[in-house]
Each structure stands twice: as structure tokens, then as C-alpha cells.
Amino acid sequence: MKKDIFKKKDGSKFYLIAFAVLFIALIARIIFVGNVGNTLVKDNAQVKKPIELSFSDVLRRANDIKTMDINKDDIATGVLKDGTPYRATITYNPELLEKISKNGAVVSINNRDSMWDGVAKWLPILVSALFLIWLLRIMRGGNGGGGITRSLIGQNPTKITTGKTKTTFKDVAGIDSEKQELMEVVEFLKNKDKFKALGARVPRGILLSGEPGTGKTLLARAVAGEANVPFFATSGSDFSGIIVGLGVAKIKEIFELAKRNAPCILFIDEIDAIGQSRSKHSLNDNDREQTLNQLLIEMDGFSNDTGIIVIAATNRPDMLDKALLRPGRFDRQINIDLPNLEGRHDILDLHAKKFKIGEHVSLMDVARGTTGFSGADLENLLNEAALHAVRVGHKVVEQNDIEEARDKILMGPKKNRKIRPEDTKLTAYHEAGHAFVSVHYKDVTDPIHKATIIPRGQALGMVQHLPIDDKVSMTLEEVRANLAIDLAGRAAEEIFFGKNKITTGAASDIEMATRLARRSITMAGLSDKIGMVAVNQANTFGQRIALENASEKTAEAVDAEIRVWIENAYKDAKNLVSKNKTTVEKIAKALLDKETLSGEEIIGIVSGKKVSVKKKTTKTVKKSNAKK
């Protein structure tokens, strides 16, 4: 339920409307006066426009003038003897006027202000007076008090979600350790006397940090749902605006609301919008600093038994001010990591209840193939799979629907573009090289999952591996094996097509191998020549600057060592492909026939089993392409 906690209660609307009406009248008067003199004159049922006469024209045509009216601005209007209206700017000259009169013209002089002249004189004063009255009223807070800030808050309300939530810890999966950290908060909200008996103080504030989509907001809702207390949710950006002092007033208002509904959970999402670290260089952002100061005051003013728990979430905890993170404010910081293999399986199992999943779908295999996915990514994966199942006419979500969805998320959608036969053939041999070397090192690296030559995104083909579990480190043997696998595609191109036929298709493979070799040498100390020294240090934002804290001699040695590692891996890959050309060629021909081979089929080819040459491009894929 959405609720505006600020409502406009003053009676200054009348003055604002009056100000607007008079302002429009002033504009209308300006336009009207601008058109004076251009008024069309009717004469004998015909409309005539006044002609413009200069002062010299008036002197020359004095005998032709029939009437002349002169106002205080020396603007003369009238009619010539032939009935033509005119308009002229003249200089006051009694002799000229006497000459015109003697010729039979009727001359009149009007020095009085017209009605519009009076309006023009007093209207700006009246408009300014009304504006000042309106400003003074809202500064006093109208009828309800509270000052100009409260009135502006009424025009810029903070949107907050209020009420009790039905979300509980049963709706949160994959972050069991983080849930355990928050159980103390739930117990305090349910039974705070138990804590007070021992003199324990529950954390007043909890900061949830982690990658986007890891479940920070969901976890905060679950705490409120488990404790069965009101849940107030807002965002840090709601407290910032162009009006100075607005954020401070909003902070006060939302904390007053929380105190009136205690015990409760007050959740502030993206708190880094107002909680960024203060410094001497941030003098131009005083409003944000005032808002942060008010937040610090409100949190520090809590007594131990208020029953208000502030939970904040951010993706950038390194940006927050230290005063915000000290004990007594955000006492506890909980970092929510991306889920591991077991966590991903639990999350998939939880979300799978909302979809019709086929009986033969292995969620564990899906979890193994989604390393680095957050909870939101996994839910999106199943949703994309369901959309694909509907598109191709499946009654339930099948394994190939999930595979298609994962490939789409990781590599992009299929490309329906024409590819030259020679490029398709070269891609097949390239991927066959990757696949064979992967099978050769299956006891060292992650097992191969599939190989395909269906283009996606920028890639013409790919070989996927399915990790058995989540790895936190790699051995030197694994590093060398992965380097050989990365370079096996280029090795296959050279062996089967010749040195002059190698392509740029291995660019991403070379980049990946170089990055792995550099990290192993400069960070992990896996090179005997460089030794156990960290050549690259992480800077403030987690990036690594090449050759930092290294001399030119060390940098040259690092570059030379990386080249040696890459060359040795390439020799290893070429040696394996050369000795097993027949097997690699069988894999390539099977890819040309079927476009996609599973890991079991590739292992079968390597072990000597025959593979059916029936194309694996099913009707499902054809339907999908046809609909696209």
C-alpha cells in the first residue's frame, strides 16, 4: 500500500490562484497594448488598416488631414480627408497644429491616462503584493504551522510503502547464513523482554550490502513478516531534491511516523544516495550533508527500547560515511554474496513452484551452469525459459527451454544471419578443437557440457563447461589446462586450414588466456621466475592498474613470462590436436551435421562410439526461428 505521509493543509491556494490570474491579465494587457494602433477600422462596410506616417509626412500632407487625436505619448491617430485612417509619431509643435486646424482638420489633445495605463501602473504592484503574502503565509506554515519546508513537502511527498508484509523467511532461499544473522532481530521484535533481562542491546541498524539482485529488499521484508510488525520502505533518493532543507524535513517526518508505529521495520533502499562520505571537497553539496546529519541524529537518538529497527541496503558500502557505520547506528553489516551451488539450487527450487516445470528437468544441472547468477537472475532465467516454452508450443518448461534461456542471457539471442559455408566449417573445427582438449583434461577442469556452432551475439559458436561445484581457487595444473583449452580453437584452425587461414575468431580466447596468465603470475605467485610478489595492487574501486608498484625491469619480466606461458599452452594444444586429428575431425563433422553436441556425445566420439548423423536441429528450433 502506497501512502503520502505529507499532506498540504494551509490555505494559501487562494493567493496562488489570484496571483496566477493577475499575472495572466498582465500578459494580456501587454499583448493588447502591443496591438493598439494596429486596430482595423471599418469604413463603408470595408475594413481598413491604418497607414504609418512619419513626422515629415505629416508636415507634407497637413492639408490632407481631416481629424487628429494626440495622446500624452505624442502618438497621433486620425483620418485623412479621403477616409484613410493613419497613425503617426509627432513632436509637439503649436505652429504645426495651428496650420492643420486652419485647413479644416479637427485636432484634439488628450493628456489623461487611459484605463489600461492605470492597470499597467498598478497591476505589477498588486501581483508582487499577492506573491509576498503567499510567501509569508507558507513561511508561517499556513494555518497548520511548520514553515515553508512543510509546504514544499506537501508538494513533493515522500512515497513510502506501509503496512504488514506477508513475506517470511520461507520466501527467501540461498542465503541461510544471512537469515541466521537476522533471526536475533526477529526475536527482539517478538520478545524484547528476554534481551532486556540480560542487558543485551539489539542492533539499532543493519546494513545489507551486496550485488544487485541478491535479495536485500526481500530479506528486509522477510524480517518484518517473521516478526509480524509494520514495514516502512523508502529509497534514499526520496530524501534528495532541488529544495534546500527538504531532505531534512522528510527524514524527521518518516522517523516520526516510525516512532508512532513502533515496534516496526524502517527500510531505506539505496542509502548511498544520501549517506555518501563527507569530505572537504563536498562543500557544494550542503543539502545532502544536512540530510545525512539529520539521519545520524535520528538514529543516534534512539533509546534501546524504541522497537524501531532501521535496515538499509546498498550496492556500494565503500561510499558510506564512517559516522553512519559506527556502533549505535548501523551496528551490524551483512554482506550478501552471490549464491553458491547449493544456494542456487534452493533458489531455483523456490521459484520453480510458480512455473510448470517438466519432470525430466534437472534443477541441479541448471544450478551448476549458472555460476555467478544472483537470485533475481535465476528467477529471470526460469521466466525466459517459460516464455520460450510458450513460444515453441510446449505444455511444460523443458530442459532445452532452460538451456535456450541461459544461452540467450549469457551470449545473446540467436542470430538469423547468413554465414558463408567456409566460415561455418572453420567455426566447427575451431569449436571441435576446444571440445577435444576439454575432454582430454576432463579430470583436471570442469567437465564439458556442450558445443555448438549456432551464432549468438558476437560469437559464431561456443563450448560450455558445467562445474561440479563452486571453486574458490585454481591449481597450477588447472591454470595450464585451461590455457590449453582456450587456445585449442586457434590450434585447430592452423592445423586443419594452414597458417595463412587462421582467423580473428580466436580474439576472445586469446584475451581470456592472457588475462588468466597475468592474474596467475602477478597476483597468485604461480611463476617461479617472477616469484611470490604482488605486481598489481587493487585500487579504490577494485580495478587493477597495469604495472603498478613494479619497476620497468619487473614489468618486462612479467610480459616475457606471460608470453612464455601462452606459447607453451599453444604448443600443448597443437600437439594434442595434431596427434588426434581424426577424432577432432569427427567432432567437427558431427557439429556440421547437428549444430549442437552434448557433452556425452562429444565424450562418446572421443571414446570411439558412433554418433548418428541425423541433424539435431529440431522442429522446436525451426519454429522458434520461424516466429522470430
Angle (CA) 485 488 494, round 5°: 170
Asked if 569 and 483 touch (Cβ cutoff 8 Å), the reply is yes
Element of type H or E holding 148: helix 147-155
Half-sphere exposure at residue 530, Cβ-oriented, CA atoms within 13 angstroms:
30
Position 67, amino acid: T
Residues 6+ apart with CB under 8 A from 361: 397, 398, 399, 402
Position 184, amino acid: E
DSSP state for residue 564 in the 8-state scheme: H
By DSSP bridging, strand 85-89 and strand 51-53 are: parallel
Distance (Å, whole) CA 90 – CA 595 = 94
Closest listed residue to residue 150, CA positions, set 258, 246, 260, 12: 246
Written as one string, the DSSP assignment of 85-143 is: EEEEE----HHHHHHHHHTT-EEEEE-SPPHHHHHHHHHHHHHHHHHHHHHHHHHTTTT
Distance (Å, whole) CA 26 – CA 32 = 10
Asked if 439 and 584 touch (Cβ cutoff 8 Å), the reply is no
Q: Which residues are tagged catalytic?
A: 431
